[in-house]
Amino acid sequence: MERWPNIILNRWGTMVWKPLPYAVVWVTCSVRNDCTFNEKIFTVRKIVMKTRAMVWYWLMRKVEQRGHRFSEMLNNWGITATGVAGLKKLMTCDIFFHSCSSFCCF
């Protein structure tokens, strides 16, 4: 987690950005276990959604979350995570999974 980029964000963006690497690891392990033990197959879109949902769940009791909706995390991720409209591709399938259409562990 030491190499996770430390970028300047608005207050909400910082709240979303800080737990994101932990959510990525958590969801990756969860998906890996479901693939291995339950023979499930996940689309990349589902993995990304699960990661965003985990961040949302972890922030549920934070004061900064008031006035925000989960739909922001799903539909406007670049703006939600960074506060900058130009970073739309942040954490999309293209960047994190090289345009794969599905994912399952070995």
Confidence of residue 62 (pLDDT cuts 50, 70, 90): confident
Whether 78 shows a pLDDT value over 70: the answer reads yes
pLDDT digits (tens, 9 = 90+) for 10-57: 888 888 888 999 999 999 999 999 999 999 999 999 999 999 999 999
Q: By the 8 A CB rule, do 58 and 19 touch?
A: yes
Is the four-CA dihedral 97, 98, 99, 105 of positive or negative sign? negative
Q: Are strands 102-103 and 42-43 parallel, antiparallel or unpaired?
A: antiparallel
Confidence of residue 86 (pLDDT cuts 50, 70, 90): very low
pTM equals 0.71
Q: By the 8 A CB rule, do 51 and 103 touch?
A: no
Whether 99 shows a pLDDT value over 80: the answer reads no
Helices (H), the chain: 11-17, 20-38, 44-58, 70-75, 77-82, 93-97
pLDDT at 44: 94
The tokens for 33 are 């276990």
d(CA 87, CA 40): 32
For all residues of the chain together, what is the average pLDDT?
77
